Structure 1
Amino acid sequence: MSPDKPAETPAEIPAAVRRALDAIDALDNDAFVAAFAEDGYVDDWGREFRGHERIRSWSDNELIGKRATFTDTQVTTPGNPLTVLTQVGGDGFNGPSHFTFDVQNDELASMTITA
């Protein structure tokens, strides 16, 4: 994670979530998609993208393809699902967002983005 992000203990952020956040930091779409279960999905403010192919396409157009950055990331709701609040930057949406991750069998079942 970027140096400007607070360090969370590994117990606070499950490995699957950490892999997705690290992939975003590295702008690595392959690693981001690989963090999801085959039938996992992204819910981007009510728009759902299910399965690796659709998640990859969404990320190409909305997240990693827009060189998204996450700063000031903090866990706001620990557990499973886990929610983080982060400041999103890059060439797409810029502003604060909540990302809620549901982890099943060490993979992301879902990632839901809200205000």
Structure 2
Amino acid sequence: MTDDQVPAALRAFIDSTNRGDTAAFLAGFTDDATLDDWGRVFHGPDGIASWNETDNIGKRAHFELVGIEATDDPDTVIATLTVTGGGYNGTGPITFTSTGDRLRRVVIAPTA
């Protein structure tokens, strides 16, 4: 996998988290974005900021991209990430849907 195969919105999600850059992380989402973390759904900038504080940068999360696969939707990819930090630690799939270079939907749960 090369960097040019990774959508810009996904790369920004990973890079901003790894730098601990909350402003850049939040700027990577559309205003109407949703983030679904195993059924806990966070809406819009305030919801995603809350998740970021309790489950992501607030827990010093660090992502390593293991693999990426395309879907039938050209705006959606499934990325396998290894997560380490002060919260969840493990490897699993996350579905990312983007609009341009920003994320519109993130789903953290096993794929069907």
What is the TM-score of this pair, normalised by structure 2?
A: 0.87
Paired with 1:58 and 1:106, the residues of 2 have a C-alpha distance of: 21
Q: How many residues get paired?
A: 108
1:61 aligns with 2:54: yes
Q: Can you give the 5+ residue segments of structure 1 that lack an aligned partner in the other structure?
A: 1-6
Per mean C-alpha deviation after superposition, the further-off stretch among 55-64 and 14-23 is 14-23
Aligned equivalent of 1:102:
97
Cα RMSD after superposing both structures: 1.6
Q: 1:37 aligns with which of 10, 21, 30?
A: 30
Task: State the identity %.
Answer: 34
Whether 1:50 and 2:43 are equivalent positions in the alignment is: yes
Higher helix proportion:
2
- In structure 2, what is the Cα distance between the partners aligned to 1:37 and 1:101? 13
Structure 2: give runs of 5+ residues left out of the alignment.
none
